[in-house]
Structure 1
Amino acid sequence: MDTTKATTMKVVHNSRAGVPSVPGKTMGVFTGDVWLDQVIRQDNMSVVNVNFTPCSRTNWHRHEGGQLLRVTAGSGWICEKGDQPQRIAVGDVIWCPPGSHHWHGADDGSYMVHEAVTLGKIDWYEQVTDEEYAAKK
């Protein structure tokens, strides 16, 4: 058995004391009030908890290596370009394959929190219009 340690384990403790959330407005890629809490960022992977206020959402975007979303609170929507928006809620897990051009965000009357595991770089595009957001109804 080879006991050579090839990598170093990283532990992220369940404490963010003194670490402020980042307002999404500073990034220019969200509509509405969104807050981001970085969990870990390493190599070509990041894990972020994203808190969406009602009606807030991402711009259209895609991920080089794909993205895994896990809804942990509230409800919202996700939409791939050319498709109808789909409702998502607590416990749902969504896989956006590499290159999937999509948006996600909170429902009209609900906050939504999801954990986002992103692989590779993100390409950001235009805002989701109010008409595109309203198509979910």
Structure 2
Amino acid sequence: MEILPKTPTVKNPPEQFTGDVWLDPIAGPREPGQRMVVGKVRFAPGARTAWHSHEHGQTLHITEGIALLGLRDGTVLEARAGQTVYTPPGEQHWHGATPEDFMEHLAMLDNGADPATTTTWLEHVRDEEYHHP
């Protein structure tokens, strides 16, 4: 057993996010064959990811606020603190905070063979997609 040191909080890059978004890495592969990655992600009001997909899918557990989750068909879902959302492999989506409040979630996914390409980042979410009723 080992107690790991806290990894510093980092601000997520503007190429992949709109607004202010911070990441606290929690867990990553430590031994050969391990693929699990977990991070705590905090979104300022109005902040959101760009469109993206995950090679092995992604699970989000909302810990604070209300998460907005967008799908390519124009659907925007809401998930509240305590709820968990699963996105299947390859599904293009975005997620973020409401315009009024912070939102925090735990993001959990499995790395692919090349961790650098586990998440495929696409274009930014347009305001009209984000503000969809």
TM-score, scaled to structure 1: 0.83
Q: Deviations over 1:39-62 (max 9, x none)?
A: 011143210000000000000000
The alignment status of 1:29 with 2:29, answered yes or no, reads: no
Matching residue within 80, 83, 106 for 1:115: 106
Quote the residue 1:45 is aligned against. Answer: 36
Contact 1:60 1:128 in 2 (8 A): yes
The alignment status of 1:130 with 2:131, answered yes or no, reads: no
Matched residues, number: 123
TM-score, scaled to structure 2: 0.85
Contact 2:74 2:129 in 1 (8 A): no
Contact 2:28 2:38 in 1 (8 A): yes
**Bigger Cα Rg:** 1
1: CA distance between counterparts of 2:84 and 2:39? 15
Distance 1:86 1:12, change over 3 A: farther
2: CA distance between counterparts of 1:39 and 1:62? 21
What is the deviation of 1:134?
Answer: 1.0
Q: Deviations over 1:8-62 (max 9, x none)?
A: xx6566x62xx3211013x620000000000011143210000000000000000
Identical-residue share of aligned pairs (%): 37
Contact 1:21 1:37 in 2 (8 A): yes
